[in-house]
């Protein structure tokens, strides 16, 4: 019969085993998951620091306005969907037009952000709101209602929006391409912009068509259906 080891021997063995595991783990590559980052840090604060470090405000200052000028991000949370911001920040591309077939020279640089950095910066931008220009509307934005989406498409044609905007390769190159706009912009922003484009982009060639609520609702439904 094997004699039982003294308690102090067992204690030393347990301590040595724990130290051995700690040493092994310390040599393993560490990769934090999105959940780890979100739970251990305030994404908004990390994003705010990144916004400063990357000098985003040098181009996107609060007074930015006009055609082909990098927009102010003071209302980014009202305008853009967070998921789109995160994707765009990882791989920026030119969306604006200077003239037919020509993009502005000034463009958004690719900062080669990590997934966690892009998520944090998107969270910070999504926290930026401008309640003076974005208001709540009583009607619902029903982009899944095929009837109202069809109405919006017809209104889009009647107002000749295709003269300035391109969808599926067809249309003008004055305003931004509207492919995927339903995944990029928020419905409340679209509604407010359609009612008063100049309040968001002074000097914009976009006209104020004095749209009725029903027309705004239908147009927003159609645009939000463009995924």
pLDDT tens column, 3-45: 545 554 444 554 444 444 334 333 433 333 344 444 435 899 9
| Local structure of 70: helix, strand or coil | coil
Residue 104 DSSP one-character state? -
Higher pLDDT, 122 or 25: 122
- What whole-number distance in Å separates Cα of residue 179 and Cα of residue 212? 24
> For residue 202, what are the contacts with CB-CB under 8 A and spacing of at least 6?
65, 66
Question: What are the tens digits of pLDDT across the range 175-218?
Answer: 889 999 999 999 999 999 999 998 888 888 888 999 999 999 99
CB-CB contact of 51 with 126 (8 Å)? no
Report in angstroms the alpha-carbon separations of 1 from 5, 89, 164, 178, 214. Answer: 12, 69, 92, 82, 90
- What whole-number distance in Å separates Cα of residue 14 and Cα of residue 127? 49
Q: What is the pTM of this model?
A: 0.75
Residue 203's CB is within 10 A of a number of other CB atoms, namely: 11
> For residue 120, what are the contacts with CB-CB under 8 A and spacing of at least 6?
37, 41, 43, 44, 46, 47, 50
- 41 sits in the region (left: phi over 0; alpha: psi -120 to 50; else beta) called beta
Report in angstroms the alpha-carbon separations of 165 from 160, 184, 187, 219. Answer: 9, 15, 18, 14
Q: Which domains does the chain have, with CATH numbers?
A: 40-126 (1.10.760.10), 146-224 (1.10.760.10)
């Amino acid at each position: 019969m094997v004699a039982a080891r003294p308690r102090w021997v067992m204690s030393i063995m347990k301590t040595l085993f724990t130290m051995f595991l700690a040493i092994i783990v310390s040599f393993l590559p560490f990769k934090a998951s999105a959940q780890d980052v979100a739970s251990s840090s305030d994404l908004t604060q990390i994003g705010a620091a990144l916004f400063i470090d990357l000098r985003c405000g040098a181009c996107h200052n609060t007074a930015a306005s006009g055609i082909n000028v990098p927009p102010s991000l003071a209302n980014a949370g009202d305008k853009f969907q967070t998921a789109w911001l995160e994707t765009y920040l990882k791989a920026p591309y030119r969306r604006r037009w200077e003239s037919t077939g020509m993009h502005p020279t000034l463009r958004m640089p690719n900062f080669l952000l990590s997934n966690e950095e892009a998520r944090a910066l998107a969270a910070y931008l999504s926290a930026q709101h401008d309640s003076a220009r974005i208001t709540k509307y009583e009607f619902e934005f029903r982009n899944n209602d095929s009837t109202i989406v069809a109405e919006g498409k017809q209104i889009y044609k009647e107002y000749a929006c295709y003269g300035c905007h391109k969808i599926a390769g067809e249309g003008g190159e004055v305003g931004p391409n509207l492919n995927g706009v339903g995944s990029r912009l928020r419905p409340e922003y679209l509604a407010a912009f359609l009612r008063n484009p100049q309040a968001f982009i002074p000097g914009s060639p976009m006209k104020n068509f004095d749209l009725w609520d029903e027309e705004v609702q239908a147009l927003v439904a159609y645009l939000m259906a463009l995924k």
